[in-house]
């Protein structure tokens, strides 16, 4: 009997005995992940979370399922940030409660992205999202390292120019303006219509008091009708520095109209 068992194990090749069921479960897992993304695209986070959890149960080694769950947590945090800073400029006890919940979602997202990157060390998107979490926690040095590592794996990075813009912003937060400008210029060179890259490059020029260069970048963002409210605020500030007051009322109106209750709108009104 023992010899028969050994023989059976010997002839039971990977293809015939174990891989087929494993492939079937893996395929089901991937299907669930895709369903999860469909829910995410519709901002239905509960449905996305359910599908991605099922995907992970079917295949615990599915780094895509972990990444999907991480995105759910990250986007949940983003929704809270909108309430805190854009839909309503909250402060006090109410803001403290929401910020605590915001932090919990971010920490959960970081854990999930880290697990995905542990399974697949070349998972550029997971590394980049960890960098974005670190940015929100103001850990700019760690964010820089993660963005740089993510860019070393372009095959698993959906949008390299955006990550370049993120890396440039991490350098900016550390007052390293030369490296910030270098990465941001690369980002808009690779993707000329990248509003975020142009706005952040404008912020670098603004910090260096290169007013004309800053104005050029901010005007491009405003001209392209990019929904970056801060661009209107900083274009107003730049025009003030240049002594150009004629456009201020129109810019102020455009800024406030984008999100009337936001913290940025309050700053635009003050100008």
- Domain CATH number, residue 39: 1.25.40.10
For 15, other C-beta atoms within 10 Å of its C-beta total 9
Q: What is the pLDDT, as a whole number, of residue 8?
A: 33
Structural domain includes residue 165 = no
Q: What is the pLDDT, as a whole number, of residue 95?
A: 74
Greatest Cα-to-Cα distance within the chain, rounded to the nearest angstrom: 94
The answer to whether residues 35 and 51 touch, using CB atoms and an 8 Å cutoff, is: yes
Q: How far is the CA of 129 from the CAs of 82, 153, 216, 256, in angstroms?
A: 19, 13, 30, 30
Structural domain includes residue 188 = no
Structural domain includes residue 107 = yes
Structural domain includes residue 205 = no
Q: What is the pLDDT along the chain (271 residues), one digit of tens a residue?
A: 334 333 333 333 333 333 444 577 889 999 999 999 999 999 999 999 999 999 999 999 999 999 999 999 999 999 998 888 877 786 766 678 888 999 999 999 999 999 999 999 999 999 999 999 999 999 999 999 999 999 999 999 999 999 999 999 999 999 999 999 999 999 999 999 999 999 999 999 999 999 999 999 999 999 988 999 999 999 999 999 999 999 999 999 999 999 999 999 999 999 8
The answer to whether residues 270 and 261 touch, using CB atoms and an 8 Å cutoff, is: no
The answer to whether residues 48 and 33 touch, using CB atoms and an 8 Å cutoff, is: no
Per-residue pLDDT tens over the stretch 251-262: 999 999 999 999
Total of domains in the chain: 1
* 0.75 exceeded by pTM: yes
Structural domain includes residue 220 = no
Structural domain includes residue 6 = no
Q: What is the pLDDT, as a whole number, of residue 11?
A: 32
Domain, as residue range, for 43? 22-91+98-158
Structural domain includes residue 254 = no
Structural domain includes residue 104 = yes
Q: What is the pLDDT, as a whole number, of residue 89?
A: 82
């Amino acid at each position: 009997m023992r010899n028969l068992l050994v023989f059976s194990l010997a002839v039971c090749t990977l293809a015939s005995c174990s891989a087929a069921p494993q492939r079937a479960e893996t395929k089901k897992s991937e299907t669930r992940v895709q369903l999860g993304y469909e829910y995410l695209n519709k901002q239905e986070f509960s449905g996305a979370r359910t599908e991605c959890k099922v995907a992970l149960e079917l295949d615990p080694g599915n780094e895509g399922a972990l990444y999907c769950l991480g995105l759910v947590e990250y986007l949940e945090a983003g929704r809270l940030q909108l309430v805190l800073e854009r839909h309503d400029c909250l402060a006090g006890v109410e803001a403290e409660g929401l910020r605590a919940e915001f932090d919990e979602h971010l920490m959960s997202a970081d854990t999930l992205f880290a697990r995905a990157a542990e399974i697949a060390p070349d998972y550029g998107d997971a590394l980049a999202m960890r960098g974005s979490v670190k940015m929100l926690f103001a850990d700019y040095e760690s964010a820089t390292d993660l963005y740089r590592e993510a860019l070393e794996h372009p095959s698993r990075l959906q949008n390299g120019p955006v990550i370049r813009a993120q890396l440039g912003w991490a350098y900016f937060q550390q007052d390293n303006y030369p490296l910030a400008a270098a990465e941001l210029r690369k980002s808009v060179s690779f993707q000329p219509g990248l509003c975020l890259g142009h706005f952040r490059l404008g912020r670098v020029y603004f910090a260096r008091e290169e007013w004309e260069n800053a104005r050029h970048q901010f005007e491009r963002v405003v001209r392209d009708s990019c929904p970056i409210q801060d661009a209107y605020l900083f274009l107003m500030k730049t025009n003030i520095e240049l002594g150009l007051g004629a456009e201020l009322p129109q810019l102020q109106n455009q800024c406030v109209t984008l999100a009337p209750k936001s913290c940025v709108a309050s700053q635009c009104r003050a100008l």
